[in-house]
Structure 1
Amino acid sequence: MLWFLLSLLSALMWATADALTKRFFSDLNPYEMGMIRLLYLLPFLIPLLFIVSIPPLGAAFWAIVALLLPVEGAALFLYMNSIQSSPLSLTLPFLSFTPAFLILTGFLFLGELPNLWGAGGIILVVAGTYILNLNKKAEGAWGPFRAVLAERGSWMMLLVSLLYAYTSALGKAAILRSDPLFFGPFYIIALTLFLLPFLLLTKRVRIAALWRRPWQGMAVGGAAAVMLVSHYFAITMVQAAYMIAVKRLSPLFGVLYGGILFGEEEIGVRLAGVGMMISGVFLITLLG
């Protein structure tokens, strides 16, 4: 049962980090928001590298990391842009598309067909998206789908979900060539070192903005650190599919944060939509 509580904690802390980032740093640009998320994680993660053993790292590992970092950076800044520009309840639920995209990429590139459970899960995710966008402005049968394209943060997070399908597959390959407890902190540190010099040189990030609210930044970093640590402890206790399925409850917490902290509207309808999307994720992850 401990694995379940840790997985649930990981989901809650993921949504908490998003809510704190939106609450305290939405006045910055998305690049600065993303770097604050990474930089304030470092004080919590760097000590872990002195605790875990460093496994042998071959050429294949470094090649995978080189392919991962640019895409992960693009996903991070799209993610920040999404939660900055739109309600949490209309952005975070779209992360539920990542497992569906993994099935679709498996079909397109490997010819792998989903079983009935996987196909049913995809249908539930799409149906949940429809319910999520049911409102007075979404006129006609196709209105809720058009609303996704009209809401900047929604289609951005949908793109993030697609990028995460790519990074999830490659990330798994990197973990198999290293160690889960090592790869977590290493990857965040590597991503920070990869992005920060470029963003400073191109003046997309102002140093003063990064240190303007240190305590709020530490709160964001602390929530993200708890999310990562609980994730990796949980995944060592149970099959990865079960842990990931529970962690996919994160959008549910995000919708609740949207209603409680930001006064977002139509939370009841959006909870119904995200509930259906999460049900689809459970089918895909556990049975698909």
Structure 2
Amino acid sequence: MTSFAILVRILANPLSNVFQKQLTQRSANPLFVISATYGILMLVCLAFWPQLRFTGLLFEFWQSMLISSLFAMFGNVFLVKAMHTGDLSVLGPINAYKAIVGMLIGVFLLNEIPGWWGLTGVLLIVAGSYIVLNDKQQRKEISLQSEKVGLFRRPEVKLRLAALVFSAIDGAFLKKAIILSTPTIAFFYWCAIGFGLTLIWISLTMRTTWRAQTTLLVSQKTTYLALCATVGVTQMASNVVLADMPVGYALALFQTSALVSVLFGYQFFNEQGILRKLIGAGVMVAGAVLITVLG
């Protein structure tokens, strides 16, 4: 079940990123996109799983769930903003650091001590992601841009770094909530609390624009529904994996979704450097094998 969930997550997450970028290119506000996603998923849960209205959950569950949802909200909004303003080929490699951040947080919060093979696997996945998503021409462009503005001082890079840190913290607290309940219960409250938090944010910052965003939602309902489906599948699969695997290992395995990006780029956009990307993908697969078999 865990292996299947990892596969589903690896396939679904890149699709959700595609739909998020499409919506922001059509003038959708990143905060509104995330809020609508939370809201629609919450309604789906209430319609099909009314038994999810649980009582009697421990205070520690609610505490972990609230912290997780808060960090998830900021992480998701910053991610969509970064994708809207930046180049995915530049921002992509940065995401591999999420596994390291998640592993460090897991050590202190959940006492998840990584083994040597697992740690080696994480480092291989990070290294492989750079081989997959970087090339000489890109590094020249980054170098030229960095002469004017330091790479890590660029707004989109700052947003991506913030997003991965928030997402890693979210993963650690979410796992704690899952341990105290189930992956399905945690998913429902992740949607419900996230929706409530984003509504508060919208009421404070989008008083004059939310109506226009609602109109856009109706006109782009197909893309929104596709986004909700892929985000829902991605998050539920993530919960299943987190329930059975250390946070750092899980986040590292999720980075192998770069494999899907390589295949999409070659098949649909005729991107070059396929051999280099396949080599990098092979390194990432090797890291994933170390984690799942020996970690």
Deviation at 1:35, TM superposition (A): 2.4
Alignment of 1:92-103 (within 5 A): 92-103=92-103
Give the match for residue 39 of structure 1: 39
TM-score, normalisation: structure 1: 0.76
Distance 1:90 1:180 in 2: 33
Deviation at 1:183, TM superposition (A): 1.2
Distance 2:266 2:151 in 1: 19
Unaligned runs of at least 5 residues, structure 2 = none
Contact 1:35/1:196 (<8 A) preserved: yes
* Bigger proportion of residues as helix: 2
Which range is displaced more, 268-277 or 198-207? 268-277
Give the match for residue 213 of structure 1: 220
Contact 1:40/1:220 (<8 A) preserved: no
Distance 2:107 2:62 in 1: 27
Report the 3-state secondary structure (helix = DSSP H, G, I; strand = E; otherwise coil) of the residue aligned with 1:249: helix
Report the 3-state secondary structure (helix = DSSP H, G, I; strand = E; otherwise coil) of the residue aligned with 1:219: helix
Give the match for residue 70 of structure 2: 70
Q: How many residues align?
A: 282
RMSD (CA atoms): 3.9
Alignment of 1:1-288 (within 5 A): 4-26=3-25, 27-52=27-52, 54=54, 56-105=56-105, 114-131=114-131, 132-139=133-140, 149=152, 153=156, 156-203=159-206, 206-210=210-214, 211=217, 212-230=219-237, 239-240=244-245, 247-257=254-264, 263=269, 265-266=271-272, 268=274, 269-270=276-277, 272-273=279-280, 275-277=282-284, 279-280=286-287, 282-284=289-291, 287-288=294-295
Contact 1:88/1:258 (<8 A) preserved: no
Deviation at 1:215, TM superposition (A): 1.9
Q: What fraction of aligned residue pairs are identical, expressed as a percent?
A: 22
Which letter does structure 2 place at the counterpart of 1:156? L
Which range is displaced more, 107-116 or 267-276? 107-116
Which range is displaced more, 220-229 or 192-201? 220-229
Deviation at 1:217, TM superposition (A): 0.9
Unaligned runs of at least 5 residues, structure 1 = none
Contact 1:78/1:160 (<8 A) preserved: yes
Pick closer, same or farther for the CA change 1:121–1:89 going to 2, 3 Å: same
Contact 2:65/2:186 (<8 A) preserved: no
Distance 1:234 1:111 in 2: 17
